[in-house]
Chain A
Amino acid sequence: MTTKAAERKKLHGTGLRYWVKLRADIKRDRWLYLLLLPGVIYFIVFKYLPLFGIVIAFENYVPYSGVLGSQWVGLKWFQYFFKFPAWVTYLTNTLILSFMNIIFYFPAPIILALMLNEMRSLRYKKLLQTLLYVPHFISIVIVVSITFVMFGPSGIVYKGTEMILGHPINYMGSPDTFRWMIIGQTIWKETGWGTIIFLAALTNVDTQLYEAAMVDGAGRLRRLWHITLPAIRSTIVLMLILRMGSMLDTGYDHLILMANPLNRKASQTLDVFVYQQGIQQGQFSYASAIGLMKSIVSVTLVVTSNKIAHLMGEQGLY
């Protein structure tokens, strides 16, 4: 105690006073820092080390030499990717799937939310919601497995098509059906769950607007179009911006389950390419370079679409 007081006296009037206070504070909170430690180690090892690991995109990474010891090759992998015309296929497959997702999946939760919002029986509405949310909690492996069991060669849908058309359709192994299967699975799995955010936005609608519109003689559809839909406009824009940012992400966990040699003409997207090159073939540097390029484009897309949202008079993402 006395030494501490003496120490403090000695340092009085100098910048060191700050450090003494800091030391005392840290000592007081030592147990809190101990609690903080596991989390901080986790973030350094599993979040920041990989972030630093992006440098392998500019190296010829060999696991034996390590990230620091591998040879620096600059932009070699980026040039290598564009040297072969195959990159056009990867990019078009990715973009087609993304646009199909925006055209066919994106509006689905909005329409469903609007329809649920018009339900008069709240009990029935709740029952429907309970059923509609189920697929969201089912793992993607099970979703794809169910698809294989039903659409595969001995499945119920496969046989049904054969009966109706006279010839079967190879749903699971054809580039023509691949994209529709992916979109169909996404719609089935996520539409119900996707309504939540729009239903939340719909609870904020001013009810006086409906009353005023009714007095003016507006029917159900007109009220839906002129009051309900504008009320969720900013939520829709926000979701669209988020979607634009992930334009190049087709999601590898879903796609690599559905991709096979027979449908590779359609299933080879950038994400699948990164997985195959990096994880399956061990071309770590090459795959990282493609991944990095994708991230840079994604950030640019988010910034751009956010700017467009501002120009449209919406609040946007930030």
Chain B
Amino acid sequence: MAEANMSSPQHKKMIVSTGPVGQNATVSSRIFDAFNYIFLTLVAFTTILPFIYIIGASFATEYEIATRPMFIIPRDVTVNAYRFIFSSNKILQGFGNSIFITVCGTAINLFFTVTMAYAISKPRLRGRNFFLNMVIFSMFFSGGMIPGYIVVANILNLKNTFWSVLLPGAISAYNMMIVKNFFQGIPQELEESASIDGCTDIGVLLRIVLPLSLPVLATFGLFYAVGHWNAYFGAMIYMTGAKQKWPLQVLLRELIIMSNGSAGDMNNLDPEFVQPPEQSIKMAVIVVSTVPIMCVYPFLQKYFVKGVMVGALKG
């Protein structure tokens, strides 16, 4: 949206006219501006300060963290914490599980979303309205946490399998509707010419529609992937008996949140971490599990803002 803002001439004009510039600026207007800039800069700085501190401290020695009250850049730089992480099977396994869940989960999401969106985007489909209403209704009414849990754990018996985190969120109704609208915007002539040439509907989808929608698929793939990487609740409640399948987020909860003295849940702790892990190790784990998000952040910002805008304009 930031870009859309800037390129629109209307916005430029508005910025000019909200306050006089240059020589015309009154004293009060200048004070207003100064206050505004300082305040917003402070807010933005506060927003990223925790990250800067965590990154800095993850490279510090345990002694320095314990003795020096406040610092951003450590005096003695050490990579001991990272060395520990990458030698710990537990954390490496968690990292692997997170990658596995993210990749498979996103593939499942895209498959389910695209197939359903394509079929439902065809106005000629008999019963289309019924299926559309079925999706929309589910956006407003849900069974809640417990009935959902019972379906996954007791009826489908998926406890302690990766399916328990891959399947329950296979389609986001909201994303599916947006993809459906995109498919409807593709010129019908393209698809018709292909079906005259003997393509089935599946052939048209694979050969004509999907190649045209790569940017959309990338966007929604990213949406889903971030969701999988950040998710912890499903894995926490469904994989209670399969620690070797835990993703990084659940491991992080155990390492940092449960191991904290106040949590009072120490008996659940893994033998590898009988002692609560050192501060620098906690920080390094936080950094390691945030890095993948930071790598895709430039794309995220661009696409997610657009996504919010689509929702805003519709609503």
Contacts and interface: CB of A to CB of B under 8 A. Distances in A.
A80 to B, nearest CB: 16
A34 B265 CA distance: 49
B44 A219 contact: no
A287 to B, nearest CB: 5
Chief secondary structure at chain A's binding surface: helix
Nearest first, the 6 closest Cβ-Cβ pairs linking A and B are: A39-B116, A50-B143, A173-B262, A53-B147, A139-B230, A50-B147
5 contacts: A36-B116, A53-B148, A120-B33, A257-B253, A279-B146
B50 A150 contact: yes
Given A54-B147, A153-B262, A201-B312, 7 more contacts: A116-B40, A128-B40, A146-B50, A192-B47, A205-B14, A220-B19, A292-B144
A61 B39 CA distance: 56
B18 interface: yes
Nearest to A130: B301
Given A140-B230, A203-B10, A145 B17 contact: no
Chief secondary structure at chain B's binding surface: helix
A29 B124 contact: yes
B232 A139 contact: yes
A42 B112 contact: yes
Contacts of B21: 120
Contacts of A45: 151, 156
Contacts, number: 315
B263 A260 contact: yes
Contacts of A61: 150
A8 B141 CA distance: 43
A67 B150 contact: yes
B15 A120 contact: yes
B244 interface: no
A284 B150 contact: yes
Interface string A116-159: 11111010111111111111011111101110111011111001
Contacts of B138: 43, 47-48, 51
Contact of A118 (B32, B66, B146): B32
Interface stretch (A83-91, A206-214, A304-312): A206-214
B161 interface: no
Interface string A231-270: 0000000100000000000001100010011110000000
Interface in B240-274: 249-250, 252-253, 256-257, 260-265
B48 interface: yes
Contact of A112 (B43, B142, B252, B285): B43
A17 interface: no
A210 B170 contact: no
Contacts of A133: 301, 305
Interface string A189-217: 00010001101110101010011001000
Nearest to A124: B37
A131 B46 CA distance: 10
Contacts of A129: 2
A207 B144 contact: no
Interface residues of B, number: 116
**Most chain A CB atoms below 10 A, which of B66, B202, B260:** B260
Interface string B109-150: 001110110111010111000010011001001111111111
**Most chain A CB atoms below 10 A, which of B135, B256, B313:** B256
Contact of B131 (A22, A40, A199, A261): A40
A262 B143 contact: no
Contact of B53 (A32, A63, A156, A252): A156
Interface in B256-315: 256-257, 260-265, 279, 282-283, 285-286, 289-290, 293, 297, 300-301, 304-305, 308-309, 312-313, 315
A150 B143 CA distance: 37
A291 B144 contact: yes
A112 B6 CA distance: 18
Contacts of A128: 40-41, 43-44
A38 interface: yes
A11 B167 CA distance: 45
A207 B249 CA distance: 47
Contacts of B256: 145, 148-149
Contacts of B171: 39, 42-43
A100 interface: no
A51 B126 contact: no
A160 interface: yes
Interface string B174-216: 0010000000000000000000000011100100000000000
A165 to B, nearest CB: 14
